[in-house]
Structure 1
């Protein structure tokens, strides 16, 4: 199921709209999602030769077309969960400084892990269709949910809620996906929570770093090719 959900997310990003390739409107969460999708689709089409030569080029596309619109720092904090509060409560200055440095390292490897994950997902895109629900009034809201439905012939529709948040600069960026009501961010937190508690953040950092450095390819639910 997770494998198909990830492919569906790729379809969400790749869904093209009719507007011209224009600067992304970070003041409107609904326009932001659709414009990023459109710009990414055009970039993939333009770079097909480079992608055919090396799938690693998909990392470049993800970093340039998607990453600026993903609040990976906030997502990383959410994944770490209660560990953040634990660090805040450390009284020893040296110990706290070291813990903060580990958090910074985690954020960086988590970012790289997201890039590798999306690059791998994009290798599976086969022109799935996405339908966007009508935009809602978001004035005064700090979080908005862009509802979409992924349509693929011969398979059940998949509902994806794309969660975006308003930052201190009043700009909107994505931080989570709800696939059929299941948060991918919460799933990642559950996956890493036990490892973080039992083996520590340094081990988690090493684990994500190794995964992010693997060759770009799609991996199924069990992590295999």
Structure 2
């Protein structure tokens, strides 16, 4: 079933890379932030600022009640069409534009549904995000960060892969400890398409999203 390939712990961190790590206090490096890194930092600060207003006396915040606001902010910094295209692989070009659009929306919903279901709460805790560096290669960039103090004392390396389109940097993949969210989905989708039609894949995604309602 779609999504089952990820362990709970993996989903808790990787899917959180799309949003929940944006909820953590930020430790900035002293040097100036080039544009790709600034995009990630700005997105994180916006979500963090929103959720901080929801924290009260250290109490956790139920994410499902704030999905619309969080999704709206995150969507400004992530290119979900690019993510969907890369996750589907060669089959993307074989689909009509309306099917590409439907797949993109189902893919986006699947990510957010899984995230909300797995993470559920923002604990208003003390983990921090440290921005280590960024690497530029033409219209592509990698922003490397670390989550420090995760579950007390664990550090989690997290990378955001971005591309430049229309003078805007947007993320299209999240990589944690060497595991790519896009590549993981591509393997799952390819496995399904080896046995079923594209319509079969869409049905699986619809059914999976319905489970979260």
Q: TM-score, normalised by structure 1?
A: 0.73
Alignment-derived partner of residue 131 in structure 1:
130
The Cα shift of 1:122 comes to 4.1
Instruction: Say if 1:62 and 1:115, in contact at 8 Å, map to a contact too.
Output: no
Higher Cα radius of gyration:
1
Of 138, 143, 149, the residue aligned with 2:140 is 143
Q: Which has the higher strand share?
A: 2
- Counterpart check, 1:181 vs 2:175: no
- Measured on the aligned residues, the alpha-carbon RMSD in Å equals 3.0
The Cα shift of 1:53 comes to 9.4
- Counterpart check, 1:32 vs 2:39: yes
Q: What is the number of residues matched between the two proteins?
A: 195
**Structure 1: stretches of 5+ with no match in the other structure:** 20-24, 88-95, 217-225
Instruction: Say if 1:67 and 1:115, in contact at 8 Å, map to a contact too.
Output: no
Deviations 1:141-165 (A, max 9, x none): 2111111112225454221111111
- Counterpart check, 1:196 vs 2:193: yes
Of 55, 63, 67, the residue aligned with 1:59 is 67
1:91-110 equivalent positions in 2, closer than 5 A: 99-110=96-107
The Cα shift of 1:134 comes to 3.3
- Counterpart check, 1:68 vs 2:73: no
Instruction: Say if 1:148 and 1:161, in contact at 8 Å, map to a contact too.
Output: yes
The Cα shift of 1:185 comes to 0.7
CA separation in 2, counterparts of 1:205 and 1:17? 38
CA separation in 2, counterparts of 1:72 and 1:213? 20
Of 5, 8, 13, the residue aligned with 1:3 is 8
